[in-house]
């Protein structure tokens, strides 16, 4: 990896990144690990390449974890003991924030004053820690919410559990305190301003990225061989955390409709699901398999555990279409990764997905979660060779507009703005 030690004067030397509830070292695609983990690690690596050292603080979940791990040159992950050495649910974590904050402050106290130039907190739990550390260290706080309780609660899947009021209050506090609020899309900016009263001047839209070196088009036949799938199959894939919010059941129901409409498809159709249970999905980890059986497509459905990025490439390349049927999605990295591999995406028209997917160019956006609407959309992309070829080209073009390098450059601009705003505010107090 090339590291440039040239650093513009406004750029921080060292950033404390807070990721309390999940570590960038974890495998995404199950439990609490998903797009945020990828975001944190990819932007950290890109920052280090630009000469900005990054230290990520995350809660220690096992006594085997070393206190400090080097994720990449210039990027350290610090495991902070806070509560038992075991995974805790998000409901249990607020009670550990005091212990976690104390660990972060102690780590900083070992260094000369002014060791970190800026704090970037991810998710509201980290925002609570960042808010206090910001006041102690006298440095700006940049916050990324990743998801918002009020938005999630407004678009719950049937029977799903709403986010608690404690989270809503905690998010409101962080929104009021942060010097800059980084959001993924203009829609999220409106949500933050409209639902949380964020200062529009403090909100900065930064598009997430995709690793274009890893996620590239490649041989579909080779990918299918790697996964043990027939070469001539029609493959519909889902990748990500299995929970009601992500709605993989919509894909299964739509697949069942496709087979009901054309029974010959039963010979060729494969529904590939990569990922593990998460969130409220943990309460019934077998629910999706049971649904596939009850829909009569159990034999056509292949479940694979969370895949490393390298293996996920096979999943995307093997698929004719990747489905992202979520009820809410602040962006949807899976959609971007699939398109970068040349696979069209059919996605729900919610949250950031209309930015991640270009309707009619790189795939289709479906304005409902009805199985019939999804079956129609999936059929028109997966079974029409001309449309598929056109969208596959559009997908690669669309994804090529995003990269983690671009994300990080914009993020560093937001850091500079936060630093200037923080200094101005400090000057006002002094005068």
Nearer to ligand UDP, 152 or 204 (CB): 152
Terminal-to-terminal C-alpha distance of the chain: 46
Name the segment binding ligand UDP (CB under 6 A); options: 26-34, 174-182, 216-224, 378-386: 26-34
Residues linked to residue 179 through DSSP beta bridges, in sequence order? none
187 binds ligand UDP (CB under 6 A): no
Reduce the DSSP state of residue 237 to 3 states and report it.
strand
334 binds ligand UDP (CB under 6 A): yes
Residue 410 CA to residue 49 CA, distance in Å, equals 15
CB 346 within 8 A of CB 362: no
Structure tokens at 265: 């498809």
- Provide, rounded to whole angstroms, the least separation between the CB of residue 249 and ligand UDP: 16
- Provide, rounded to whole angstroms, the least separation between the CB of residue 339 and ligand UDP: 12
Establish whether 246 is an annotated binding residue: yes
Residue nearest to ligand UDP (CB): 34
- Provide, rounded to whole angstroms, the least separation between the CB of residue 129 and ligand UDP: 21
- Report how many residues bind ligand UDP under the rule CB under 6 A: 20
50 binds ligand UDP (CB under 6 A): no
Establish whether 329 is an annotated binding residue: yes
Strand ranges, E, within 155-240:
180-183, 203-205, 234-239
Establish whether 167 is an annotated binding residue: yes
Residue 341 CA to residue 214 CA, distance in Å, equals 9
Q: Which of 201, 197, 153, 190 is nearest to 174 (CA)?
A: 197
Residue 91 CA to residue 254 CA, distance in Å, equals 33
How far, CA to CA in Å, does 238 sit from each of 85, 242, 249, 415?
Answer: 32, 9, 10, 35
Establish whether 298 is an annotated binding residue: no
217 binds ligand UDP (CB under 6 A): no
Nearer to ligand UDP, 29 or 248 (CB): 29
- For 181: left if phi > 0, alpha if psi spans -120 to 50, otherwise beta; the answer is beta
Reduce the DSSP state of residue 10 to 3 states and report it.
coil
- Provide, rounded to whole angstroms, the least separation between the CB of residue 312 and ligand UDP: 5
**Contacting ligand UDP (CB under 6 A), which of 52, 239, 251, 338?**
239
**Contacting ligand UDP (CB under 6 A), which of 118, 223, 274, 371?**
274
Establish whether 67 is an annotated binding residue: no
325 binds ligand UDP (CB under 6 A): no
How far, CA to CA in Å, does 182 sit from each of 47, 89, 150, 280, 328?
Answer: 16, 25, 17, 27, 18
Reduce the DSSP state of residue 348 to 3 states and report it.
strand
Q: Which of 350, 348, 345 is nearest to 396 (CA)?
A: 345
318, with CB counted inside 10 A (0-12, 13-18, 19+), is buried
Nearer to ligand UDP, 140 or 276 (CB): 276
**Contacting ligand UDP (CB under 6 A), which of 275, 279, 342, 394?**
275
356 binds ligand UDP (CB under 6 A): no
240 binds ligand UDP (CB under 6 A): yes
Kindly state the DSSP code that residue 81 receives in the 8-state scheme: P
337 binds ligand UDP (CB under 6 A): yes
Name the segment binding ligand UDP (CB under 6 A); options: 2-10, 33-41, 93-101, 261-269: 33-41
Nearer to ligand UDP, 4 or 400 (CB): 400
Structure tokens at 271: 């529904």
Name the segment binding ligand UDP (CB under 6 A); options: 9-17, 31-39, 156-164, 167-175: 31-39
- Provide, rounded to whole angstroms, the least separation between the CB of residue 102 and ligand UDP: 29
74 binds ligand UDP (CB under 6 A): no
Q: Under the rule (CB under 6 A), what is the footprint of ligand UDP?
A: 28-29, 34-36, 38, 239-241, 274-275, 306-307, 309, 312, 331-334, 337
């Amino acid at each position: 990896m090339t590291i440039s030690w040239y650093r513009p004067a406004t750029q921080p030397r060292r950033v404390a990144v807070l990721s309390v509830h999940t570590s960038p070292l974890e495998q995404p695609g199950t439990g609490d690990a998903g797009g945020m983990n990828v975001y944190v690690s990819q932007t950290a690596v890109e920052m280090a390449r630009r000469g900005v050292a990054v230290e990520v603080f995350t809660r220690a979940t096992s006594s085997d974890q070393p206190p400090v791990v080097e994720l990449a040159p210039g990027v350290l992950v610090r495991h902070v003991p806070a509560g038992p050495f075991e995974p805790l649910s998000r409901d249990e974590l607020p009670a550990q924030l005091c212990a976690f904050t104390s660990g972060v402050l102690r780590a900083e106290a070992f260094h000369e004053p002014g060791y970190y130039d800026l704090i970037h907190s991810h998710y509201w739990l980290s925002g609570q820690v960042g808010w206090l550390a910001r006041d102690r260290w006298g440095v700006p706080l940049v916050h990324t919410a990743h998801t918002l309780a009020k938005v999630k609660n407004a678009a719950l899947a049937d029977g799903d559990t709403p986010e608690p009021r404690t989270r809503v209050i905690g998010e409101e506090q962080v929104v009021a305190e942060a010097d800059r609020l980084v959001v993924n899309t203009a829609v999220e900016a409106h949500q933050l301003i409209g639902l949380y009263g964020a200062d529009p001047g403090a909100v900065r839209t930064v598009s997430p990225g995709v690793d274009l070196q890893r996620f590239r088009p490649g041989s579909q036949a080779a990918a299918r061989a790697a996964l043990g799938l027939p070469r001539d199959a029609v493959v519909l894939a889902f990748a990500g955390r299995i929970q009601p919010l992500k709605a993989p059941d919509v894909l299964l129901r739509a697949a069942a409709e496709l087979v009901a409409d054309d029974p010959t498809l039963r010979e060729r159709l494969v529904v590939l699901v990569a990922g593990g249970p998460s969130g409220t999905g943990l309460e019934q980890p077998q629910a999706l398999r049971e649904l596939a059986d009850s829909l009569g497509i159990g034999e056509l459905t292949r479940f694979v555990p969370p895949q490393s990025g390298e293996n996920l490439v096979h999943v995307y390349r093997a698929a004719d279409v990747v489905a992202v049927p979520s009820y809410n999605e602040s962006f949807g990295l899976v959609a971007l990764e699939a398109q970068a591999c040349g696979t069209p995406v059919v996605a729900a028209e919610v949250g950031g997905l209309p930015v991640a997917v270009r309707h009619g160019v790189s795939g289709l956006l479906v304005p409902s979660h009805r199985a019939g609407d999804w079956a129609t959309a999936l059929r028109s992309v997966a079974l029409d060779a001309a449309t598929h070829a056109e969208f596959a080209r559009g997908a690669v073009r669309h994804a090529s507009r995003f990269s983690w390098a671009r994300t990080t450059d914009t993020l560093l601009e937001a850091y500079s703005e936060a630093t200037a705003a923080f200094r101005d505010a400090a000057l006002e107090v002094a005068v």
